[in-house]
C-alpha cells in the first residue's frame, strides 16, 4: 500500500562507499574532520552551505542561550528516567526531548512560524508594520491567548538572554524584518491584550535566526540540539550525584490525592 508521496527517491545529505564518506558534497575525512567546528557543521548539514561569520556567530549564541536553564521539565523527566533505567542513557535523553512542544523548548518554532506569517502579510499588504502587528495579534487571539515569544514566569522584568541576543543583533547589523516584526508585536501588546509583556528568549531566537537565513522548518532543531547537550550534562551528574528518585519522591509528596476514598478505609 502506498502511503504519501513516493516519487522522489533522493537525498542530498550524505553517501558512502568502501573508501569514503561524502557529506553535502564534501569528503568527511579530507574536508570536514579537524577543519570544521560543530556549529558550522550543523549549519552545513541543515542548509547545504557553509555559514558566514554572522550566521556562525548567532548559531553559537542561540545554542548557548537555550542549552541550560536548571531543573526544567525536560531535565526532570530525563533524570527520573535515568534513575529508573541507568543502563539506558539514550532513553533518558529521549525522555527529556519528547516533551519539546509549544510550551517548553519548542516554542521558538511556534514563534518563528507566527513571525514569518506576520512578515509575509506585511510585505504583501504594504501596510505599516505597526498595523500588521496589531491585526495579527487580534487574529491570533481568536484561537489562543498566548502571543509566542513574550512573557516569562521567572524573568518578569525581561529575559536577560533575550535582551543580550537583541543587543548583539543590533550591534552586528543583522536585525531585519523578523526582528522588526517581533518588536512591533511587543509594542502592540498593551493595546491588543491590555498589558505589556517582556520578550522572552523564544522571541529573538527565531527572529534573529530567520533574519540571518536559517530555515524556518529547522527552528525546532535548534532547541533539540542544544538541549541534548544540556541533558547529557545533567545525566552525567545524575550518574555521579543522583537526584532522580528525590525528584520523584518530592513529586509524590507535593501532590495530594483528591479522588474517592477506598471502601476499606475507616
| Final residue before a domain boundary, out of 218, 235, 258 | 218
Give dist(CA 26, CA 50) in Å, integer: 11
pLDDT tens figures, 101-114: 877 777 889 999 99
Answer whether residue 191 shows pLDDT above 60: yes
Give the residue from 218, 241, 259 where a domain finishes.
218
Among 156, 169, 167, 168, CA closest to 199: 156
178, 203, 218 - which closes a domain: 218
Cα–Cα dist 17/208, whole Å = 39
Short-list 104, 106, 99, 199, CA closest to 147:
199
Question: Are residues 118 and 202 part of one domain?
Answer: yes
The number of helices, as runs of H, and strands, as runs of E, in the chain is 11, 3
Which grid cell is 181?
516584526
Average pLDDT over residues 56-68: 96
More confident residue, 155 or 233: 233
Whether 92 maps to a domain, the answer reads no
Q: Is residue 153 part of a domain?
A: yes
Residue 31 lies in a domain: yes
Per the domain annotation, does 140 fall within a domain?
A: yes
DSSP percent split of the chain into helix, strand, coil, nearest 5: 60, 5, 40
User: Where in the sequence is the domain holding 111, given as residue range(s)?
Assistant: 107-218
Would you say residue 191 lies in a domain? yes
Name the pLDDT band for 6 (thresholds 50, 70, 90): confident
Q: What is the pLDDT of residues 121-130, one digit of tens each?
A: 999 999 999 9
- Percent pLDDT > 90 in the chain is 83
The tally of domains found in the chain comes to 2
User: How confident is the model over 121-142, as a mean pLDDT?
Assistant: 95
Amino acid at each position: 500500500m502506498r502511503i504519501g508521496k513516493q516519487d522522489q527517491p533522493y537525498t542530498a545529505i550524505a553517501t558512502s562507499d568502501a573508501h569514503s564518506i561524502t557529506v553535502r558534497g564534501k569528503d568527511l575525512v579530507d574536508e570536514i574532520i579537524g577543519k570544521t567546528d560543530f556549529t558550522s557543521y550543523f549549519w552545513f548539514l541543515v542548509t547545504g552551505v557553509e555559514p558566514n561569520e554572522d550566521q556562525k556567530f548567532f548559531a553559537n549564541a542561540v545554542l548557548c542561550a537555550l542549552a541550560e536553564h536548571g531543573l526544567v521539565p525536560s531535565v526532570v523527566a530525563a533524570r527520573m528516567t535515568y534513575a529508573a533505567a541507568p543502563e539506558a542513557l539514550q532513553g533518558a535523553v529521549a525522555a527529556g526531548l519528547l516533551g519539546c512542544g509549544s510550551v517548553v523548548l519548542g516554542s521558538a518554532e511556534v514563534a518563528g512560524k507566527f513571525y514569518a506569517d506576520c512578515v509575509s502579510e506585511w510585505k504583501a499588504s504594504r501596510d505599516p508594520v505597526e498595523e500588521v502587528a496589531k491585526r495579527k495579534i487580534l487574529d491570533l487571539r481568536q484561537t489562543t491567548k498566548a502571543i509566542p515569544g513574550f512573557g516569562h514566569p521567572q524573568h518578569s522584568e525581561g529575559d536577560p538572554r533575550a535582551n543580550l541576543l537583541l543587543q548583539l543583533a543590533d550591534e552586528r547589523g543583522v536585525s531585519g524584518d523578523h526582528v522588526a516584526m517581533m518588536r512591533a508585536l511587543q509594542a502592540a501588546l498593551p493595546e491588543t491584550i491590555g498589558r505589556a509583556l517582556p520578550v522572552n528568549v523564544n522571541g529573538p531566537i527565531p527572529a534573529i535566526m530567520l533574519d540571518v537565513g536559517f530555515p524556518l522548518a529547522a527552528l525546532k532543531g535548534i532547541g533539540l540540539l542544544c538541549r541534548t547537550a544540556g541533558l547529557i550534562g545533567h545525566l552525567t551528574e545524575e550518574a555521579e550525584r543522583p537526584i532522580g528518585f528525590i525528584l520523584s519522591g518530592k513529586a509524590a509528596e507535593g501532590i495530594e490525592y483528591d479522588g474517592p476514598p477506598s471502601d476499606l478505609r475507616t
